[in-house]
Amino acid sequence: MSNDQLRFDGKVVIVTGAGGGLGKCYALSFAERGAKVVVNDLGGSMSGGDGKSTKAADVVVEEIRAKNGIAVPNYDSVEDAEKIIQTAIDNFGRIDILVNNAGILRDRSFLKTTDLDWDLIHRIHLRASFLLTRAAWPHMQKNKFGRVIMTSSGAGIYGNFGQANYSAAKLGLLGLSNTLSIEGQKYNIKCNTIAPVAKSRLTETVMPEEILNVLKPEFVSPLVLYLCHENTNETGSLFEVGGGWVGKLRWQKSSGAVVRNGDLMTPEDVRDNWTKITSFDVPLYHTAIAESTNFCLNASENASSET
């Protein structure tokens, strides 16, 4: 291991859903590098809403302690966010890093999606990440340091058959992260989103074994640790990561066209300019809402002055 190893000594990390899959790997990796870790896991079923066991978190805590690492278990559902944050404060006195990772699946084709399928997915993925981050925020603000990870999914970015509920919640997390990265800036709180692919109980029933063996959680955790390091300034970004590959995503926009004629704009104006509206020949990469809105206004003004 090189001398400039990224260390987390003195840092307190909460990893939700750390009893298995990706979360377990994050917890072990942070602890190996000196962090004090709250290993949260409800130990419930894959579809949420039932089951509870202390075993999931306990096994990971034991593994960390066996390697002389520091960790405590927490068995609350992520919906009980305050209790999880309190576990960090009671045991370690602070909270520096929050990895919102816990998750469930309730896949159904759209028409078969029940209110419960929709609500549970939103409660566990999106709402709980909101609750946890809000509860951690004042501690991070006070310390002028915070690193937050939101866990999205390719299903949110691209859509996926049978995952309307999950896709919506997962892309909601990106919107949440985008705004938190702006609000956190002056407190040195950085918030990034990952869309991982890895072998876990969520994927082992839907992907073949030979593919899963390439998708080790150990090929995702290094990105999470890098993003959470005190020397990393990246914020408000989205990454896809899996199988050792890491890449960053961004919005791309066509340069579009002003299609109104003076004060009038019709559906036919849109139709007649469709090629220009949808052409990515000269793409734009706006990164802030003001930049985006100003571009729109300037284009409109320029068109007015040209007529």
Beta strand pairing call for 12-15 and 97-100? parallel
166 counts as catalytic: yes
- Which of 40, 113, 181, 192: binder of ligand NAD (CB under 6 A)? 40
Under the criterion CB under 6 A, does residue 67 sit at the interface with ligand NAD? Answer: no
> How near is the Cβ of 47 to ligand NAD at its closest, in Å?
9
Query: Considering only 95-103, 108-116, 248-256, 296-304, which stretch makes contact with ligand NAD by CB under 6 A?
Result: 95-103
Which candidate in 26, 166, 187, 226 is catalytic? 166
Residue 122 carries which DSSP code? I
Q: How far apart are CA 216 and CA 152, in angstroms?
A: 18
Largest Cα–Cα distance of the chain, in whole Å? 75
Alpha carbons within 13 angstroms on the beta-carbon side of residue 288 total 6
Identity (one letter) of the amino acid at 298? N
Residue closer to ligand NAD by CB (options 35, 124) is 124
* Dist CA 247 CA 245 (whole Å): 7
Nearer to ligand NAD, 22 or 148 (CB): 22
Restricting to residues 123-152, name those near ligand NAD by CB under 6 A. 124, 151
Cβ 30 to ligand NAD, closest distance in Å? 15
Residue closest to 147 by CA, chosen among 15, 31, 239: 15
27 scored as a contact of ligand NAD (CB under 6 A): no
Binding mask 245-284 for ligand NAD (x = CB under 6 A): ----------------------------------------
Single residue of 27, 99, 104, 136 touching ligand NAD by CB under 6 A: 104
Residue 38 near residue 61, CB atoms below 8 Å: no
CB 8 within 8 A of CB 36: no
Query: Does residue 197 touch ligand NAD according to CB under 6 A?
Result: yes
| Cβ burial 172-204 (10 Å sphere, 16+ → b, else e) | bbbebbbebbeebeebbbbbbbbbbbbbbebbe
Identified binder of ligand NAD from the candidate list 101, 192, 221, 235, rule CB under 6 A: 101
**Could you give the residue numbers annotated as active site?**
166
Contact footprint for ligand NAD (CB under 6 A): 16-17, 19-23, 40-44, 46, 48, 56, 77-78, 101-104, 124, 151, 153, 196-198, 200-203
